Structure 1
């Protein structure tokens, strides 16, 4: 995907790969993924996206957060920009949790282990994605 240690990966490239290698872009699922600005989104708009994308279209959300202890409850190391996958939600009984796939892993006894399935509040997921400098966008 053109990732280098210095340059990272452009979200548009990731979106293109999602469209090339999955079937979520067919008419029975989510349709073709695009990159969307989330700069002005409210917490309710985040909830609505997850309800539609995961609850109706059965397709995940490509998140683009800046992770750290100030933006998430599941990853304490600082990233300048990152990619996580929104894979589910729990809004039952007033719940406000988004389920996340973290491909880089998370801290465990000072080490990093791969593939973490985490959850965080909608407000933290929103905050982490808005904290990503000028890259306030996600793909769905």
Structure 2
């Protein structure tokens, strides 16, 4: 899938002109109501066809939708990480079948590019988590066949 190469540590470029010009852009996503890492959000915004200001709104709507189905994810999918950090209390990351984000996008009534932006953000979050947990290669391999879903706590 495209958009997985984050150029090493995945920090993105915080000085991107379109992010700085967009007054609705909020890099502190924990306070924005979704679990996606701020750097993952910036990378996803840079590679997706939606504005950085629109992406947090999409992530909040998706997280609300996903939280309502958390028990289903616990029963049906592989949970590869449950955050125990103070910042991520209750956040769980799952590997789901390829095409899962298309289904979620349909359920939420999103356009293809909006759905793709959500998939990329969750994917980048998993990759950043993999770097932090020293499991990056494992997660990169998993993403060749599956997609990531991050659900806030």
Select the structure that is richer in helix.
2
Q: Pick 1 or 2: higher relative contact order, CA cutoff 8 A, min separation 6.
A: 2
Normalising by structure 2, we get a TM-score of 0.30
Select the structure that is richer in strand.
1
Normalising by structure 1, we get a TM-score of 0.31
